[in-house]
Chain A
Amino acid sequence: MENFTPFTALAGGALIGLAAGLYILLNGRIAGISGIIGGIIGAASAQKAERIAFICGLIAGPVILALVAGYRPAITVDASLPVLLLAGLLVGYGTSLGSGCTSGHGICGLARFSPRSLAATLAFMATGFLTTFVMRHLIGF
């Protein structure tokens, strides 16, 4: 468990929870990232400007953290190009069909005790575990 980082994980999670909480308090909206993006690429949707503002903040957040706290974790993507593109397609298609992702169902949905979000979270966790197992231990990517 040499990679286990309980304190930054808890603190970072708390920041994410604060962001999701403030978004419902201030703007009255669910901070589900796939839903926010879906509303931007959709033809006619309300609050396009504030959705774009949220996404801009999402991109600026790690930069601000690096400037303020000097903390910038490295990013390692192991997936090959075809796997990466397939993964993106599946994540986009699946979150659109399933009305949410790790943030919308996993944080916001569970925080309001939504049975739909609990079912969705269990579903994507299950295939997430299974896929990683197949990729790492059966196929050996």
Chain B
Amino acid sequence: MRILGALLCGCLFGAGLALSGMINPEKVLGFLDIAAIPAHGWDPSLIFVMAGGLIIALPFFWWAKWHNTALLGGNISLPTKRTIDRPLIIGSLIFGVGWGLAGLCPGPAISALSYLQLEPFLFVVAMLAGMIIQRLSSRP
């Protein structure tokens, strides 16, 4: 049942990425290109995607705060770390550079594999390599 739950959530997530247009790197870059604001070429759609996502997700996460067990069994696992540390900030800064270079982040990149185009596939391979390099380099 947990596997079916994950599959359902993945499908909804992927459909949302496609419907919102965020699966298209060009649209994401249209948001990141704030220098286009004076020429009225800026695309603020991503703000609406985040707003829609947050409004719907909020009550679920509020519920999760007060419960220990998920509906399909197992514990509810929320991050417990509270400190804003160097890895968090440096990692996020590096992620943003990669995001701004191609307009792809992990979710849309994986979802875009369904288009069977070469570019998302190459990006995902490089992304996996980047994750593995980070893990190997962080080992003591």
B83 contacts which chain A residues (CB < 8 A)? 116
A65/B96 in contact, CB under 8 A: no
CA distance A37 to B10 in the complex (A): 12
B29/A19 in contact, CB under 8 A: no
Range, interface on chain A? 35 or more
CA distance A71 to B32 in the complex (A): 24
CA distance A9 to B104 in the complex (A): 17
A56 contacts which chain B residues (CB < 8 A)? 7, 10
B114/A62 in contact, CB under 8 A: yes
Interface core residue of B40, B55, B71, B102 (most chain A CB under 10 Å)? B102
CA distance A25 to B88 in the complex (A): 26
A76 contacts which chain B residues (CB < 8 A)? 24-26
Whole-angstrom distance from the CB of B31 to the nearest CB of chain A?
9
A62/B14 in contact, CB under 8 A: yes
A77 within 8 A of partner (CB): yes
Taking a contact as CB atoms closer than 8 A, the residue among B3, B12, B13, B96 that contacts A126 in the complex is: B96
Taking a contact as CB atoms closer than 8 A, the residue among B60, B92, B115, B130 that contacts A20 in the complex is: B60
Q: Which residues on A are within 8 Å of B, measured CB to CB?
A: 1-6, 8-31, 33-34, 37-38, 41-42, 47, 49-51, 53-66, 69, 71-79, 81, 83-103, 105-112, 114-116, 119-121, 123-133, 135-137
23 contacts between A and B (CB under 8 A): A4-B43, A12-B18, A13-B48, A14-B16, A21-B60, A22-B9, A26-B8, A28-B77, A61-B16, A61-B17, A61-B111, A65-B14, A77-B25, A90-B94, A91-B98, A92-B129, A94-B98, A99-B79, A102-B99, A119-B89, A127-B100, A132-B32, A132-B100
Q: Which residues on B are within 8 Å of A, measured CB to CB?
A: 2-27, 29-30, 32-35, 40-46, 48-65, 69-72, 74-79, 81-84, 87-107, 109-115, 117, 119-120, 122-135, 138
